[in-house]
Chain A
Amino acid sequence: NAGVTQTPKFRILKIGQSMTLQCTQDMNHNYMYWYRQDPGMGLKLIYYSVGAGITDKGEVPNGYNVSRSTTEDFPLRLELAAPSQTSVYFCASIKGGTASYEQYFGPGTRLTVT
């Protein structure tokens, strides 16, 4: 299993551009998450999904959109990029259920908006 994969690893955007961060997991996990990590800070939840077709907002959803058309994929869309969106983005997943507790993280995407 590849686990959780994210592409790209690095990206520089100009203000106002748009892009999609890709996230794929091959563990048949039901729950998927997008976080952002600003320099020197912890992870903040942007969006999450409890299964295909179901998504919900997290703590900091403004400026982002998500979709979950399949169990495996959970892309994060940035529309009209702003410097405040400069951050490292992590995707994560868990199977779900009370005995499933460990989040599996992707390697992260470092995004710079200038």
Chain B
Amino acid sequence: AQTVTQSQPEMSVQEAETVTLSCTYDTSESDYYLFWYKQPPSRQMILVIRQEAYKQQNATENRFSVNFQKAAKSFSLKISDSQLGDAAMYFCAYRTSTSGTYKYIFGTGTRLKVLA
């Protein structure tokens, strides 16, 4: 069974600085997706960025980028130029596609605080 681990329950970053959130996963599959979701106090789940396992190039979305290390099964999120609005819970997620059933497995989350 696949597992997703986020070892940082909480992180803090100064406004305008850069922060990296860690995520590791375990799987025997070769084809899968990885995601980072943001959950602000409103509880709405917002997709931040995704990475296809077959792509070597790291995904980037504006100030958000990932460091995908497939062999090490590591998938970290880097937030550059942090803003107050980035404060939220961040969840790493893995999508399996065994037998055409798309199941998502979430980590326990990292609470990000942005300091003014």
Chain B: which residue is nearest A30 at the CB level? B102
Q: Which of A64-72, A76-84, A94-102 contacts B (4 or more CB under 8 A)?
A: A94-102
Pairwise interchain contact A107-B104, C-beta atoms closer than 8 A: no
B window 25-75: CB within 8 A of A: 33, 35, 43-45, 47, 50
Pairwise interchain contact B97-A42, C-beta atoms closer than 8 A: no
**A77 and B101 alpha carbons, distance in the complex (Å):** 22
Interface size class of chain A, counting residues whose CB lies under 8 Å from the partner chain: 20 to 34
Pairwise interchain contact A42-B43, C-beta atoms closer than 8 A: no
Interface size class of chain B, counting residues whose CB lies under 8 Å from the partner chain: 20 to 34
Name B residues whose Cβ lies closer than 8 Å to a Cβ of A: 4, 6, 33, 35, 43-45, 47, 50, 91, 95, 97, 100-109
Return chain B residues, CB-CB under 8 Å to A98.
97
Contact A103/B43 with A41-B109, A42-B91, A98-B97 known, Cβ cut-off 8 Å: no
Chain B: which residue is nearest A50 at the CB level? B101
**A110 and B45 alpha carbons, distance in the complex (Å):** 15
Pairwise interchain contact B109-A42, C-beta atoms closer than 8 A: yes
Return chain B residues, CB-CB under 8 Å to A61.
none
From A35, A44, A48, A101, contact of B95 by CB (8 A): A101
Chain B: which residue is nearest A45 at the CB level? B103
Return chain B residues, CB-CB under 8 Å to A56.
101
- Closest Cβ of chain A to B112, distance in Å, is 14
Q: A42-B91, A94-B102, A107-B44 are in contact. List 17 more A-B contacts (CB 8 A).
A: A35-B106, A41-B109, A42-B106, A42-B107, A42-B109, A43-B91, A45-B104, A48-B101, A58-B103, A98-B97, A101-B50, A101-B95, A102-B47, A103-B47, A103-B104, A105-B44, A108-B44
5 closest Cβ pairs, A-B complex:
A42-B106, A105-B45, A43-B106, A42-B108, A108-B43
- Closest Cβ of chain B to A29, distance in Å, is 11
Chain A: which residue is nearest B45 at the CB level? A105
Pairwise interchain contact A48-B100, C-beta atoms closer than 8 A: no
